[in-house]
Amino acid sequence: MRLVLMCLLSLAVCEGQVVTFDLSDYNPQNATTHVQKMFINLTAGVSEIWVNNVPESVGFYVVQVHSFPYNVTLSSTRKFRSKDSVEGVNVGLVSFNDNDTRFYVKSKNQTKALIVVVIYNKKDPIPGGCNLTFNTEYAPYQLVSYTEDLIIVQSQAPSAFDTTCDKNNIQVDLYHLYLHENNYAEKYYFDGIENMLTVDLIKSHGYKVSTVDGYFKYRKLYSAYRGVGQVFAIVATYHNRSSAYVPAVSYGCDLDNQDESCYGPVTPHWKVICAFLLIFGLFVNFFGHKFFRITLYLIGFVIGVFITYVILSLSSNNLTVSEKTTTAVLIGLIYGSLWLLMWWKFGIPILSVSLTFFLSGFLLASIVFYAGVADLKIFHNDINFWLTFLAIVIAFHTMFTMWTLEWHVFGCSFLGAYACVAALNYYTGGNLQYIVINSFRRMVVNNFNMATIDPPFQILDITQSILLVAMTTFGFYYQMKEQRSKPPFPPHRYTTLEEGVSETTPLIRDTTGVIYSDI
Ligand SMILES: *[C@@H]1O[C@H](CO)[C@@H](O)[C@H](O)[C@H]1NC(C)=O
Ligand SMILES: *[C@@H]1O[C@H](CO)[C@@H](O)[C@H](O)[C@H]1NC(C)=O
Ligand SMILES: *[C@@H]1O[C@H](CO)[C@@H](O)[C@H](O)[C@H]1NC(C)=O
Ligand SMILES: *[C@@H]1O[C@H](CO)[C@@H](O)[C@H](O)[C@H]1NC(C)=O
Ligand SMILES: *[C@@H]1O[C@H](CO)[C@@H](O)[C@H](O)[C@H]1NC(C)=O
Ligand SMILES: *[C@@H]1O[C@H](CO)[C@@H](O)[C@H](O)[C@H]1NC(C)=O
Ligand SMILES: *[C@@H]1O[C@H](CO)[C@@H](O)[C@H](O)[C@H]1NC(C)=O
């Protein structure tokens, strides 16, 4: 293995670098020699990869180029025809036992690259060996693309020496591995890839995800956590022999445009929403129960915004985010007023707090599914999913109703704490906001039931979970202390009127003689 700089030897034929791999010391018994790899700074232009002295015992090998951050094109001919070349940041081609094979790598920009040769036996399944959809006949690579909500990993079915593509009896297992959160350094990128190069490495580092037969088998969907890098890997197994596809990385965002694309939302709309969430969160966390009417209004408002946003997203695709948000906020204001009116008219605490209970139940159910339940196979089915979801919400709601005061205080602290944490993510990074976003996606995004949820849970997420629990506990404790020796709920207007005090009087005396703040 050595890097020969042809440019130094002969300036006349200078086209780029030549990277040489020598397989002569390959020994089928020795697993450690199955992979050869080398880092190189690819210059702009065409470079060559030479694979020399391929022993008879090699069945086939996969040549891979992983570049960062720019695309490269890998081809088995100098002409770069589309049927023998592939473009991307994680590319690879299969080659059979030919001596002295050459590959060509075209790069528009100078970029750092990891070049790998993985060697397999004749009886190992060939990754992407059934040429069904991709340009190249053997396509051991994965094509990764993303939308706002989903990461889509496409691959081609494997083949094996004594079976046909129609039978499709080769087992395919998919894995993924999260890179360091909010860190786009090339070190983490290449570390992640090196950890997913061979079958053994994939099995020890990767997390296996569920697969389904049919259309989505080779078109795997993952919930997108924008800005968090993931390595995707596939292992094909046939008669106890396995081979690995070329690992592929996606950050779910455009690295060339990191500030806008990878770090939180930067539009003014989102800034306003995050600031509102933070204030709303702090207020409700500490004073939600004390200022009962304001809280009723806020909860009605939040529910209104959410429902309207879901309906708008479901019913039309051609509204922009800001149009949807503006409409949702306006309708939310009406919802808030209506809900407040409900208290003014009936004054039944158990009725008025039911929205708080519903929202807390919704959040708790979302946490349950976020924490892994959503990835169980039975919940690919929408009916199973929503019935279970509803059952959880109702169970919590029923429990909450039994101790209305305590659970209302808890609900306020919990919802407030979550709103704070989700808004903080805008400034600090972290993924807890996806607890609600994933439930929302399940409602409105097509095929989201097929997506793997398995969220990243790294140091920031752990810190924020602790913050969520701590804030909820503290808010609950503080509000219960404030609440001591006061009536559980503010008196209703009829009581107020009987005492001969105007409805608008902000402070009234309750029976214990304690001043009750009645805003
Ligand atoms: C495996 O390869 C390593 C390094 O290439 C070598 O030191 C070792 O002796 C080999 N083992 C066998 C069983 O060939
Ligand atoms: C690539 O370039 C960087 C600096 O530009 C240098 O630190 C590094 O050693 C080079 N790597 C190789 C393999 O030449
Ligand atoms: C490839 O070359 C090596 C050494 O030159 C030789 O031992 C081997 O048999 C050759 N393999 C094939 C398939 O021609
Ligand atoms: C990089 O390659 C991918 C896959 O072919 C392609 O979708 C993308 O547009 C390319 N990016 C650039 C900047 O050329
Ligand atoms: C390549 O580099 C040049 C200048 O260094 C830059 O203008 C261009 O956008 C880069 N190309 C890509 C595909 O990023
Ligand atoms: C697959 O490759 C073989 C050989 O190159 C070719 O005959 C066949 O038509 C290809 N099938 C598809 C679906 O492209
Ligand atoms: C695969 O290996 C297991 C044990 O490792 C063995 O029981 C089984 O028979 C093997 N299957 C095949 C098809 O070789």
Mutate to test the pocket of ligand 2, among 3, 5, 7, 41 (most ligand atoms within 8 A of CB): 41
Residues near ligand 4 (Cβ within 6 A): 71, 87-88
Q: Is the CB of 1 within 6 Å of ligand 1? A: no
Q: Report whether pLDDT(97) > 90.
A: no
Residues near ligand 3 (Cβ within 6 A): 53-54, 56, 97, 99
Query: Which residue has the CA at smallest separation from atom 2 of ligand 2?
Result: 41
pTM recorded for the entire structure: 0.86
Instruction: Indicate the DSSP class of residue 21.
Output: E
- For tokens 């805003």, the residue is 519
Instruction: Name the band, by pLDDT with cuts 50, 70 and 90, for residue 281.
Output: very high
CA of 25 to the centre of ligand 3 (A): 12
Cis bond before residue 265 (omega within 30° of 0):
no
CA of 55 to the centre of ligand 3 (A): 6
Q: Of 145 and 256, which is predicted with more confidence? A: 145
What residues have CB less than 8 Å from 60, skipping those under 6 apart?
94, 95, 96, 97, 120, 122, 124, 126
Q: Is the CB of 29 within 6 Å of ligand 1? A: yes
Burial (CB count within 10 angstroms: exposed 0-12, middle 13-18, buried 19+), residue 268: exposed
φ/ψ (deg, to 5) at 503? -60, -30
d(CA 392, CA 456): 24
H-assigned helices in 212-346: 258-261, 268-287, 292-315, 321-346
> In this structure, are residues 50 and 102 in contact, taking their beta carbons and an 8 Å threshold?
yes
Helix axes 354-370, 404-428, angle to 10 degrees: 50
Instruction: Name the band, by pLDDT with cuts 50, 70 and 90, for residue 505.
Output: very low
Region of 487 on the Ramachandran plot (φ > 0 left; ψ -120 to 50 alpha; else beta): beta
Instruction: Name the band, by pLDDT with cuts 50, 70 and 90, for residue 391.
Output: very high
Sign of CA dihedral 129, 117, 91, 186: positive
* Fold of the 123-263 domain: Immunoglobulin-like (2.60.40)
Residue-wise pLDDT for 341-386, tens only, equals: 999 888 888 888 999 999 999 999 999 999 989 999 999 999 999 9
Among candidate residues 178, 214, 188, the one with its CA nearest the CA of residue 460: 178
Annotated domain spans of the chain: 1-122, 123-263, 264-494
CA of 239 to the centre of ligand 7 (A): 7
- Which amino acid is residue 333, in one-letter code? L
pLDDT reported for residue 317:
73
1-122 domain in CATH 2.60.120.10? yes
Q: What percent of the chain has pLDDT over 90?
A: 58
Beta-bridge partners for 52 = 22
The neighbour count for residue 236, using CB atoms within 10 Å, is 26
Query: Which residue has the CA at smallest separation from atom 11 of ligand 6?
Result: 131
Among candidate residues 111, 77, 69, 71, the one with its CA nearest the CA of residue 91: 71
Among candidate residues 280, 278, 225, the one with its CA nearest the CA of residue 424: 278
Rg, the chain, Cα only? 29
Residue-wise pLDDT for 59-96, tens only, equals: 899 999 999 989 999 999 988 998 889 999 999 999 98
Nearest ligand to the CA of 24 is 3
